[in-house]
């Protein structure tokens, strides 16, 4: 696999081989929790116990590490468990800089699980490095960033934040779920950790939860290996198999979804029934120039505001026929969600905002559905 860097080829082949026992093309699902020792006490297969390591997880981790250009990938039972693992690198008394606007579950984790354990937290509003540097403390050890962000598709300058973190002896973790390795590779931009909810585009079919953390640094890898094995929030062999299987089509799916999203965003931007559109591919988006440099594709999430408030937004969602009203994103089917409802009373998300996860339907059909829903408003 060293001979090619083409992501399509890697997505099919990385970490996969014909099964040596049966010559099966599709890898077997190895359910065993334990593996036989040799007479001398060694582990001839290289595996001892499923939580520590197992064939399916190893294959998936090799594949994801290759796609992200990392040294090691660590897979978890959900994206949230991958976030937990990353934040567990912090010790009591250390300081975390995290964005005020990002996946609400990450913010809830920081507040509910980590702050009570003595992790100091500052939430930053800005995306410019200078403003973030002003919030630096001597004990700042980790900067969290999500780009593009949920749900406003904010774009952070990953390379600039990585330089800043390095200069101050801190690490940069990037939640790159909305981008996938197709659109951006945070480690290439200088980040120390790339984090994914593989529930989204990697899985891609709304039928498996998972998460991954990818690193290059050997010391970080060792710390994460401990957190993964001791914490035990590992994915099941079947979950690993499903995600590995789905990665083979990730490049094709993601590109087609991004193309559809571009069509939908341009349609919405031209509609008089829409107040505002958030999509980094639109020249009007404040992060457009940066996204054009930093990302190969603009992603397949489009948020927009309708005139009015929560009632009007919910009514618009209710009129959509092709878009299913559901949380989550990244699957083959298009979804619509009123984010403020799921984020609860403390939300900063505009009440009149709807977030679309664009799937693999024909773009004309998606645009027609949005047109009818907006026209009857």
Rule CB under 6 A: is residue 357 a binding residue for ligand PLP? Answer: no
Counting residues that bind ligand PLP (by CB under 6 A) gives 16
Active site includes 192? Answer: no
Residue from 150, 228, 334, 352 in contact with ligand PLP (CB under 6 A): 150
Q: Is 308 helix (H, G, I), strand (E, B) or coil?
A: coil
Give, as ranges, the residues between 106 and 145 that touch ligand PLP (CB under 6 A): 106
Query: Is 203 in contact with 243 (CB distance < 8 Å)?
Result: yes
What string marks each residue from 72 to 101 as x (binds ligand PLP by CB under 6 A) or -? ------xxx--x------------------
**What is the b/e burial string over 297-314, where b = at least 16 CB atoms within 10 angstroms of the residue's CB?**
bbbbbbbbbbeeeeebbb
Rule CB under 6 A: is residue 257 a binding residue for ligand PLP? Answer: no
What letter would DSSP give residue 35? -
What string marks each residue from 178 to 197 as x (binds ligand PLP by CB under 6 A) or -? -------------------x
274 or 334: CB nearest ligand PLP: 334
Rule CB under 6 A: is residue 235 a binding residue for ligand PLP? Answer: no
Angle among Cα 363, 367, 368 to the nearest 5 degrees reads 115
CB of 167 to ligand PLP, least distance (A): 27
Residue from 101, 175, 239, 343 in contact with ligand PLP (CB under 6 A): 175
d(C-alpha 368, C-alpha 377), whole Å: 15
Query: Is 294 in contact with 189 (CB distance < 8 Å)?
Result: yes
CB of 248 to ligand PLP, least distance (A): 20
Half-sphere exposure of 195 (CA within 13 A, CB side): 25
**Which among 16, 57, 72, 200 is annotated as catalytic?**
200
Q: What is the number of other CB atoms lying within 10 angstroms of the CB of residue 207?
A: 11
Query: Is 182 in contact with 254 (CB distance < 8 Å)?
Result: yes
Torsion angle (degrees, nearest 10) of CA 193, 197, 200, 205: 120
Rule CB under 6 A: is residue 209 a binding residue for ligand PLP? Answer: yes
CB of 177 to ligand PLP, least distance (A): 4
63 or 243: CB nearest ligand PLP: 243
Rule CB under 6 A: is residue 103 a binding residue for ligand PLP? Answer: yes
d(C-alpha 102, C-alpha 219), whole Å: 27
Active site includes 200? Answer: yes
Active site includes 53? Answer: no
Query: Is 163 in contact with 190 (CB distance < 8 Å)?
Result: yes
Specify which residues 98 forms β-bridges with.
Answer: 123
H/E segment holding residue 96: strand 95-99
Rule CB under 6 A: is residue 202 a binding residue for ligand PLP? Answer: no
Give, as ranges, the residues between 155 and 174 that touch ligand PLP (CB under 6 A): none
CB of 200 to ligand PLP, least distance (A): 6
d(C-alpha 316, C-alpha 356), whole Å: 12
Rule CB under 6 A: is residue 303 a binding residue for ligand PLP? Answer: no
Residue from 15, 55, 70, 211 in contact with ligand PLP (CB under 6 A): 211
Q: Is 274 helix (H, G, I), strand (E, B) or coil?
A: coil
**Which among 157, 175, 192, 369 is annotated as catalytic?**
175
CB of 32 to ligand PLP, least distance (A): 26
d(C-alpha 31, C-alpha 10), whole Å: 25
CB of 43 to ligand PLP, least distance (A): 31
d(C-alpha 132, C-alpha 168), whole Å: 12
Active site includes 201? Answer: no
Residues that bind ligand PLP (CB under 6 A): 78-80, 83, 103, 105-106, 146, 150, 175, 177, 197, 199-200, 209, 211
Active-site residues, by number, are 51, 103, 175, 200
């Amino acid at each position: 696999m060293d001979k090619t860097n083409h992501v399509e080829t890697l997505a099919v082949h990385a970490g996969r081989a014909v099964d040596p026992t049966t010559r099966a093309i599709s890898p077997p699902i190895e359910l065993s929790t334990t593996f036989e020792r040799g007479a001398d006490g060694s582990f001839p297969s290289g595996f001892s116990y499923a939580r520590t390591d197992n064939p399916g997880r190893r294959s998936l981790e090799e594949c994801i590490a290759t796609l992200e250009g990392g040294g090691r990938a660590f897979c978890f039972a959900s994206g949230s468990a991958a976030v937990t693992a990353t934040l567990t690198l912090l010790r009591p008394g250390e300081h975390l800089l995290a964005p005020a606007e990002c996946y609400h579950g990450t913010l809830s984790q920081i507040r509910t699980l980590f702050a009570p354990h003595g992790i100091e937290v500052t939430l930053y509003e800005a995306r410019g490095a200078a403003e973030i540097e002003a919030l630096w403390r001597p004990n700042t050890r980790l900067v969290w960033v999500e780009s593009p962000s949920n749900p406003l598709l904010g774009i952070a300058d990953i390379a600039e934040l990585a330089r800043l973190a390095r200069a101050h002896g801190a690490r940069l973790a990037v939640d790159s779920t909305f981008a996938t390795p197709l659109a951006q590779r945070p480690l290439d931009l200088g980040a120390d950790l790339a984090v994914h909810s593989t529930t989204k585009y990697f899985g891609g079919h709304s039928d498996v939860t998972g998460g991954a953390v990818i690193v290059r640094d050997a010391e970080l890898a060792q710390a994460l290996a401990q957190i993964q094995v001791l914490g035990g929030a590992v994915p099941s062999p079947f979950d690993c198999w499903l995600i590995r299987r789905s990665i083979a089509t990730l490049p094709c799916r993601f590109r087609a979804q991004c193309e559809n999203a571009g069509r939908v965003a341009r349609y919405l931007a031209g509609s008089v029934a829409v107040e505002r559109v958030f999509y980094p591919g639109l020249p009007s988006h404040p992060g457009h120039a940066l996204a054009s440099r930093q990302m190969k594709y603009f992603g397949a999430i489009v948020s927009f505001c309708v005139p009015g408030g929560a009632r009007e937004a919910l009514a618009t969602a209710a009129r959509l026929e092709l878009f299913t009203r559901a949380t989550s994103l990244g699957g083959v089917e298009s979804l619509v969600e009123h984010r403020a409802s799921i984020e609860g009373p403390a939300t900063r998300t505009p009440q009149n905002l709807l977030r679309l996860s664009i799937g693999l339907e024909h773009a004309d059909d998606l645009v027609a559905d949005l047109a009818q829903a907006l026209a009857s408003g």
